[in-house]
Amino acid sequence: MADQKLLSTRQISEHKTPEDCWIVVDNQVWDVTDFLDEHPGGSAIILKYAGRDATKAYSEVHAPSVLKTNLQPDKFKGVLDESTIDDAWLKPPPGENHKLLLDNQKPPLETLINAHDFEVVASKTASNKTWAFYSSAATDLITRDANKSCFDRIWFRPRVLRNVRSVDTRTKILGGDFKLPLFVSPAAMAKLIHSEGECAIARACESKGIMQGISNNSSYTMDELRTAAPSASFFFQLYVNRDREKSAALLHQCSKNPNIKAIFVTVDAAWPGKREADERVKADEGLSVPMSPSKAQNDKKGGGLGRVMAGFIDPGLTWEDLRWVRQHTHKPVCLKGVMSADDALLALKAGMDGILLSNHGGRNLDTSPPSIITLLEIQKRCPEVLEKMEVYVDSGIRRGTDILKAICLGATAVGMGRSMLFATNYGQEGVEHLVDIMQDELETAMRNVGITSLDEASPDLVHTGDVDHLVPASRAHPYARVIAKGRRRGSKL
Amino acid sequence: MADQKLLSTRQISEHKTPEDCWIVVDNQVWDVTDFLDEHPGGSAIILKYAGRDATKAYSEVHAPSVLKTNLQPDKFKGVLDESTIDDAWLKPPPGENHKLLLDNQKPPLETLINAHDFEVVASKTASNKTWAFYSSAATDLITRDANKSCFDRIWFRPRVLRNVRSVDTRTKILGGDFKLPLFVSPAAMAKLIHSEGECAIARACESKGIMQGISNNSSYTMDELRTAAPSASFFFQLYVNRDREKSAALLHQCSKNPNIKAIFVTVDAAWPGKREADERVKADEGLSVPMSPSKAQNDKKGGGLGRVMAGFIDPGLTWEDLRWVRQHTHKPVCLKGVMSADDALLALKAGMDGILLSNHGGRNLDTSPPSIITLLEIQKRCPEVLEKMEVYVDSGIRRGTDILKAICLGATAVGMGRSMLFATNYGQEGVEHLVDIMQDELETAMRNVGITSLDEASPDLVHTGDVDHLVPASRAHPYARVIAKGRRRGSKL
Amino acid sequence: MADQKLLSTRQISEHKTPEDCWIVVDNQVWDVTDFLDEHPGGSAIILKYAGRDATKAYSEVHAPSVLKTNLQPDKFKGVLDESTIDDAWLKPPPGENHKLLLDNQKPPLETLINAHDFEVVASKTASNKTWAFYSSAATDLITRDANKSCFDRIWFRPRVLRNVRSVDTRTKILGGDFKLPLFVSPAAMAKLIHSEGECAIARACESKGIMQGISNNSSYTMDELRTAAPSASFFFQLYVNRDREKSAALLHQCSKNPNIKAIFVTVDAAWPGKREADERVKADEGLSVPMSPSKAQNDKKGGGLGRVMAGFIDPGLTWEDLRWVRQHTHKPVCLKGVMSADDALLALKAGMDGILLSNHGGRNLDTSPPSIITLLEIQKRCPEVLEKMEVYVDSGIRRGTDILKAICLGATAVGMGRSMLFATNYGQEGVEHLVDIMQDELETAMRNVGITSLDEASPDLVHTGDVDHLVPASRAHPYARVIAKGRRRGSKL
Amino acid sequence: MADQKLLSTRQISEHKTPEDCWIVVDNQVWDVTDFLDEHPGGSAIILKYAGRDATKAYSEVHAPSVLKTNLQPDKFKGVLDESTIDDAWLKPPPGENHKLLLDNQKPPLETLINAHDFEVVASKTASNKTWAFYSSAATDLITRDANKSCFDRIWFRPRVLRNVRSVDTRTKILGGDFKLPLFVSPAAMAKLIHSEGECAIARACESKGIMQGISNNSSYTMDELRTAAPSASFFFQLYVNRDREKSAALLHQCSKNPNIKAIFVTVDAAWPGKREADERVKADEGLSVPMSPSKAQNDKKGGGLGRVMAGFIDPGLTWEDLRWVRQHTHKPVCLKGVMSADDALLALKAGMDGILLSNHGGRNLDTSPPSIITLLEIQKRCPEVLEKMEVYVDSGIRRGTDILKAICLGATAVGMGRSMLFATNYGQEGVEHLVDIMQDELETAMRNVGITSLDEASPDLVHTGDVDHLVPASRAHPYARVIAKGRRRGSKL
């Protein structure tokens, strides 16, 4: 390069007008005055850096050689004398407002563009304990991770040349109309990540027209949530208390609250799972929730919130008890946590209004089957269930494509739990933003697969050949069922 | 933030009473006096840090923004002047007792919450040689790792709404009653990791009501173990000596020791495997064991303890010899190390009382089949074996879910070897703690799969579709069996 | 070693002639005068380092011990005194011209030897935005990565002892003769990586005798490309505009341009996919293209060029519209973007001249099937399509072996898009170099598989057993198709 | 700990006799005088460190707590004053001879205990070019890596309680007697890694009783090798020259050399593969070999030795030419490089004496099938080949278990190429050591699988369920074979 003259920052900063404009890129100083009008991106962006270092902004949109290629050699003025760099030089240009983010600060909401982003931000900005409680799952995390990877192993069979100008994601759930086949899965203690907790979620669901499941271990009561979002639709996720009267009282509250559209009786948490990340972090023993007798504590097993908050739940619940539930409510009753086609059939027989296929986000029994595999088992073994009863799916939903796959395979709607908690990190706005993202992803997936209404979603639009071997074909194991010797005869010690 | 006044550590530490309480979080100084009573976790935990830096304790339970959100702006007092930090400031608060752990120090036993934790601690705190000997396995470690991963690829089929209030893990093994379907697999030289070695294990098994397998290469004699744990139940794992008289003498000792409930004849170690990690570390040549003529030595192949300690074992042992064993004992005789359905059938024909499916923890022949695959082979090809003989499984058991899967597929009980050695790192207490953990995990798994007694465990509760292709369907390979040309005619060189 | 005398750099550099030649290797100083004539690689290369440090050049071709083995002990003169190393010593030898490459400088073209190399160089030397736009794909990148990995999982069945002295890669595409069964897949805005953009590609295709697909979003008009490469063959990739007149005008231009051999109507981009890497980088809002109304902009979803440049495309395009296309052109019409055997059959029925199996490089719908899987689906379900219509494949082609596999399975030719853009980084020469590489790889693969002409390529030369489970066997999903309850009845909110 | 008195190195080193012996472990100073006699490992090893720091030696065999546990508190003398550490203190104890190994120095041969070790050492100590030439393989290395991993995915079905006291690995190959079913696969230019090259290999094979394949591109002539190892058995790997006379002359040399037992005609290298690592490193242009006209050179494709050394090979070789070979030799003729059952059948028909299943170590055509898969294809489709002709396997053999699996599946013997070159790094001794290792591994595998002679090896001892889907079942691809439109009619450009 012709002239390697050293130029001080002061010399350079004198050329800062549209009539005399120098910029620095990669330490090289260029006179771009004549180029201002030719710049395809307009002159304003260049003038912002007049007499300044434009390297960062430049490299975001241009390859290194562009300046050299587009300017005459005489426009090269010299090389920045780095020894003259001072604080003034390093100050960002006027109007520039790059907020320096610390590692534990939340980035601006609009920079989050998918459900994973919310998870990453929560992992850095929530308290250690909140992160441990929300993100943890049973023992080796096999089910938690398979919940998602099984969706990823189902392929679309997209159809082309179909008019997809307008697409409609509206869905009926238990007779109600919703804008999306997506609801917020009930999850405990949303206040841990944001002071408004479930209230923020409720307002977001109300404004976006989707349903919210309220956990028995919610940080707010169902009445508080109704106050927060008067026109929202909820279902109540009941953990049946060892003390039946307590549960009856809650069902009574449900009856009086017109926003509660259904009762979901939890059946996938007969016993709290071993969530080791949660156990390893000490719990704040002041923590409690208003609709259950649970209170956080640390004991010899660790600080597991998931475990101690579940202490009141009755592990003795059976199909018989569902009749008792029916006696205490006139609202639709669904089961939350079915993990086999066999129990789906029993639920149908028991007259349930719907079932939510769920393994509790992999939080209770590791190597319990991913929910989407259970849906495939129902398709394979007892598809009539899908015609006679609403079937929902949660655990592992992260993408609009996941939603569409579940719907194609027969689900009425799907739930997202953890992701919604992570979005609550930004309050109501965060949840709204995530719902918008999911809607956009779902609509894009529907269009590109060639449908405009969820009625058109069918199993023929997916190929499940990569996971079919994970789906049981019958009630019995294909190998012989044998009574192992000795085990039968175990007597009292 | 309003006021960024710098405050010295001395200034801050003056505000340390319930009436005037400042704390520092992330270098920001807050007056939390009025907040003490409102704190959901109680005031005590805050007062512990009165006039001090509470950042670490705070971030364990709260998100960064909580203070700012909950306190009035005027409670912000300024910023910690970091230049004033001194030793006094850094001292932990009274009552705080964070033991600084060096990398090679054992963490407190109660912080270990699963079998993997014991392995991690042993890898850091046992001697290089002990770790190499215990953890090593044959050549490329394929079988060692598959032993566990095959369990992970078997899925549960959990059933819901079953009364699982009380769960019973008791099991009969060879006519004896035990609290768990779990025993300690025989493993050599437990003294390497703890001076009490197998005696510590024996006391733990006695107190927890489970059986212990005593290795022929135990650091203590079976009489010493009986003395240590007078009411314990043992089985003796016999390595048949080239010198049959030596083995006869050991069988004689077994006869006189009422705590020995059975003889397990080892058949999966016809020849010592090549455990490369063990070979690469020099052995302490003073090492020996009381019940075998083995003595550690280093030779041109390396320092492999596993190899030299096995030098006395007779590679000529055959089915015929089992009659000889029977002649020297009146106790039940089982085989330890069956790796195929074919040999399971032969064992049944030979009148064995039980078989332990084992590949020696992957230590002898790499790419020998994982034990749970052999159990599946028996289910597929000769399920009658499971009805007529007790079948045990070891190699790869790390979780309560692993135990339950083996039981579902027909095992009477399972053994854990390496994990128990790693737990012995903490002596008797360590082993007891591990057994408690396994019991808790097993009970949790039983409840969440929907059963309360091991009698209910059946193949129908698991799905093996992801590993079924690894299970041979017949005695012969599906392709033609052909006599390769030339090979037959190999003559003397 | 005998003599460890320290020798200064000055002392060593005095011995720099053919009559008295010392060199330094690994700090050891050797007299190699007598060895000059014996050196198998000639004396010149040694003399270049006479009196200098030859360690680097030496270690590229020799093992450390060679000198010591080949020279008499007395030729060892001593050890380099490292304290005497100065700038003069470190200067490279005369004639040496190791260009110091900065991380963002392009290495010499001849050092790039495969398609991956071009990608690596582009990732380092293109602008952030160009790299993001070219390399990004839909959401989780599953289809983008499977496009390639599915080729890798198809095995050859090579035949030996066939005369493969001369090999012929010539191919007829839509009646035209080409030197390779390879064309440049249409891709938008090649100018982002090189000022000559698609013109450079056109000249390269002209000189190499292959076809180029021109994107509707090309940086240059089809007339400019014809001027750049007057004897080149093109096809035009039409994005049908919501405003049909605009598309009609383009088809009119195609009619007048004799170099345009066919129209490829794009059908795999009904709606722009969510390419997150592209969204995350700000776009240069001055950017536009001459043949479509698209103009770059940043909005609340991000800076996705792929998305905003697609804004004019009509998502309402259907099979009916193909008749309208036929009315506006007399040239062959093909579909670009078929992803199922069902649509391949419909295309045949609609009288198309060919179909390009493509998922848009995984850029539009994640988990849409890899193109080679769609080709297998056609082979399995409707092989007649391959006899009656030309079928092309793109998405994932990186190697000559990939080309050959697609041809074996019935494709007429394949396209490469991204790789060609990355090659355009070096202008016309870069694209020519990549085409040469692909030709060489294809010829090598053909010879080693045992064929000399593409007519001999057949499915029998590949084994697809590792991916066959990913190929749907029929139009319907194997499980029952069931109308999920409730979903059907979604009514207006 | 009671007394933390600081002790200087001088103070400590005064206590260095059996009567007064202190040692330092982890900076703690202990009086071990009374313990000397009790030490299970003997007193000598302790006395070696009398008055010194024994930390390293100690931690190799003992856990950190052993000293503290075994000694009385009063034996703790204080803490090492680290400020007094000087060079004398750091010197190793007398007799200690820890050779400090530089990264590019070969470790002592006896510390290498498997084939992988030889590869690791060669990667660090051979010249860049030698390593690139030996280790490289075609393009994406898929076949190279699958050669090994397919062996790893074949499981044994070990049988127990069989008398395996003495085991016999002797094998007949083409009528000759060998100590192992293992030969050295022919590989080019062994001199690159050791001056004695193939001569060293020949001497090792002679002493160990195994066969050596001599490459046409050997660094030494077959007569030189005969001189080096007068009683060795060789086969000659012929690359048929475009100039047939040259090959005839070589066959004539073979006829006169009684040590040459067979001719292996190479058929898996019709065209040199693209070995990119080899191309990327400049070749020493002085390099040549005595039995072919090849000469190293660098050209525009790079410095690929594998490519330029293959320039003379006739790509026009066909089955017809095998008759020509027969006319020029009376020795057995085999094919080297069969990759399909179809060609195995043709070889049988052509009257070959044997075939070596090989893909040239993955060096020629990437995604050509692993040799063990080809052997399975023969088992599945034409097992009669194995009865009528000797079949050998190379490519991917690294373990004794690999050898046994190939033999079980019908191979007569297996070859190792690359590993033997890496062993040649240590000359004759290195190759002998590797052969000893392979024999030990093979014998261990035979015993643990339950056989004592290779005649007993049968397919029933392995389970191939994890790779069976990779094996073609018939000559034709299962999907329809269709003539793609257009491709047939390619005419001259």
Q: Which residues does chain D have within 8 Å of residue C384's beta carbon, measured at their own beta carbons?
A: 482
Of the listed ranges A232-246, A330-344, B18-32, C249-263, the one predicted with least confidence:
B18-32
- Indicate the pairing of strand D76-80 with strand D6-7: parallel
- Please name the chains neighbouring B, where neighbouring means 3+ C-beta pairs under 8 angstroms: A, D
**Parts of chain B belonging to CATH 3.20.20.70:** 118-470
- The verdict on whether D360 is a catalytic residue reads yes
Tens-digit pLDDT profile for residues A323-357: 999 999 999 999 999 999 999 999 999 999 999 99
Separation of alpha carbons A279 and B113, rounded Å: 9
Contacts of residue C432, Cβ cutoff 8 Å, sequence gap at least 6:
C204, C207, C208
* Element of type H or E holding C404: helix C400-408
pLDDT above 90 for C104: no
Q: What's the CATH superfamily of A109-470?
A: Aldolase class I (3.20.20.70)
**For residue C455, what are the β-bridge partners?**
none
Tens-digit pLDDT profile for residues D40-93: 667 877 888 889 888 877 877 777 777 887 788 889 999 999 889 888 888 777
- The verdict on whether A268 is a catalytic residue reads yes
Per-residue pLDDT at D4: 76
CA distances from A194 to A125, A219, A226, B62 (A): 11, 10, 18, 10
- Indicate the pairing of strand A52-53 with strand C76-80: unpaired
CA distances from C5 to C2, C83, C84, D349 (A): 9, 14, 14, 70
Per-residue pLDDT at A4: 77
What the block records as the tokens of D234 is 């060789």
Confidence of residue B101 (pLDDT cuts 50, 70, 90): low
Nearest by Cα to B102 from B82, B124, B81: B124
CA dihedral B152, B156, B161, B164 (to 10 degrees): -60
Given D360, D366, D392, D426, the catalytic residue: D360
Residue B156: Cβ-neighbour burial (10 angstroms; 0-12, 13-18, 19+): buried
Q: Are C318 and C354 in contact (CB under 8 A)?
A: no
Per-residue pLDDT at B43: 80
Chains B and C are touching, with contact defined as 3 or more CB–CB pairs separated by less than 8 Å: no
The sign one gets for the Cα dihedral A128, A129, A131, A136 is positive
A165 Rama sector, left if φ>0, alpha if ψ -120 to 50, beta otherwise = alpha
pLDDT above 50 for B493: no
Tens-digit pLDDT profile for residues B35-82: 888 776 678 778 888 899 888 778 777 777 778 777 888 899 999 998
Per-residue pLDDT at A483: 62
Q: What is the DSSP letter of B465?
A: T
Asked if C493 and A158 come within 8 Å (Cβ–Cβ), the reply is: no
Q: Say whether residue C107 is in contact with chain D using an 8 A CB cutoff.
A: no
Contacts of residue C278, Cβ cutoff 8 Å, sequence gap at least 6:
C132, C133, C136, C302, C303, C304, C305, C306, C307
**Parts of chain A belonging to CATH 3.20.20.70:** 109-470
Asked if D368 and C179 come within 8 Å (Cβ–Cβ), the reply is: no
Per-residue pLDDT at B91: 79
Name the architecture of domain B6-90.
Roll (3.10)
Tens-digit pLDDT profile for residues C296-326: 999 989 999 999 889 999 999 999 999 999 9
Q: H-type helices in A136-192, by residue range?
A: 142-152
Tens-digit pLDDT profile for residues C64-93: 777 877 788 889 999 999 888 888 888 777
Separation of alpha carbons D370 and D364, rounded Å: 12
Tens-digit pLDDT profile for residues B185-244: 999 999 999 999 999 999 999 999 999 999 999 999 999 999 999 999 999 999 999 999
Nearest by Cα to C183 from C122, C237, C224, C126: C237
What is the residue-averaged pLDDT of chain A? 91
Higher pLDDT, B285 or A467: A467
Separation of alpha carbons A27 and B199, rounded Å: 73
**Parts of chain C belonging to CATH 3.10.120.10:** 6-90
State the best of C477, C483, C488, C492 to mutate against chain A, taking most chain A CBs within 10 Å. C477
What is the residue-averaged pLDDT of chain C? 91
Tens-digit pLDDT profile for residues C10-37: 999 999 888 899 999 888 999 999 888 8
Arithmetic mean of pLDDT, C368-394: 97
Tens-digit pLDDT profile for residues A132-157: 999 999 999 999 999 999 999 999 99
Written out in words, the top-level CATH class of the domain with range B118-470 is alpha beta
Q: List % helix, strand, coil for chain D (3-state, nearest 5).
A: 40, 15, 45
Per-residue pLDDT at A489: 40
Give B209-237 as a DSSP string.
T-EEEEETT-SS-HHHHHHHSTT--EEEE
**HSE (CB half, 13 Å, CA atoms) of A360?**
30
Per-residue pLDDT at B73: 86
Residue type, D281: V
Residue A403, min C-alpha distance to chain C (Å): 13
Arithmetic mean of pLDDT, B445-454: 98
Q: Say whether residue C391 is in contact with chain D using an 8 A CB cutoff.
A: yes
CA dihedral D316, D320, D322, D323 (to 10 degrees): -140
Asked if A487 and B41 come within 8 Å (Cβ–Cβ), the reply is: no
Mean pLDDT by 10 residues, chain A (493 residues): 76 90 90 84 81 83 76 89 86 56 79 97 94 96 98 98 97 97 96 96 98 97 96 98 96 96 96 95 89 90 91 96 97 98 98 98 97 97 96 98 98 98 98 98 98 96 98 88 54 34
Residue C175, min C-alpha distance to chain D (Å): 7
Q: Say whether residue C154 is in contact with chain D using an 8 A CB cutoff.
A: yes
- With a cut of 70, which residues of chain D have pLDDT below it? 1-3, 40-41, 94-104, 480-493
CB proximity under 8 Å: A 294-313 to B: 300-302
CA distances from A255 to A263, C389, D447 (A): 10, 65, 74
**Percentage of the residues of chain D whose pLDDT score is greater than 70:** 94
**Percentage of the residues of chain C whose pLDDT score is greater than 90:** 76
Q: Which residues does chain C have within 8 Å of residue A347's beta carbon, measured at their own beta carbons?
A: none
Per-residue pLDDT at C95: 54
Closest CA in chain C for residue D350: C161
Q: Which residues does chain D have within 8 Å of residue C157's beta carbon, measured at their own beta carbons?
A: 339-340, 342, 369, 472
CB proximity under 8 Å: C 413-472 to A: 469-472
Which residue do the tokens 């055509």 mark?
D365
Q: Which residues does chain C have within 8 Å of residue A441's beta carbon, measured at their own beta carbons?
A: 139, 274
Per-residue pLDDT at B95: 53
Of residues A156, A175, A411, nearest to C368 (C-beta): A156
- The verdict on whether D53 is a catalytic residue reads no
Nearest by Cα to C465 from B477, A464, D474: D474
Q: Can you say how many angstroms the Cα of residue B171 is from the centroid of all Cα atoms in its chain? A: 20
Q: Are C309 and C239 in contact (CB under 8 A)?
A: no
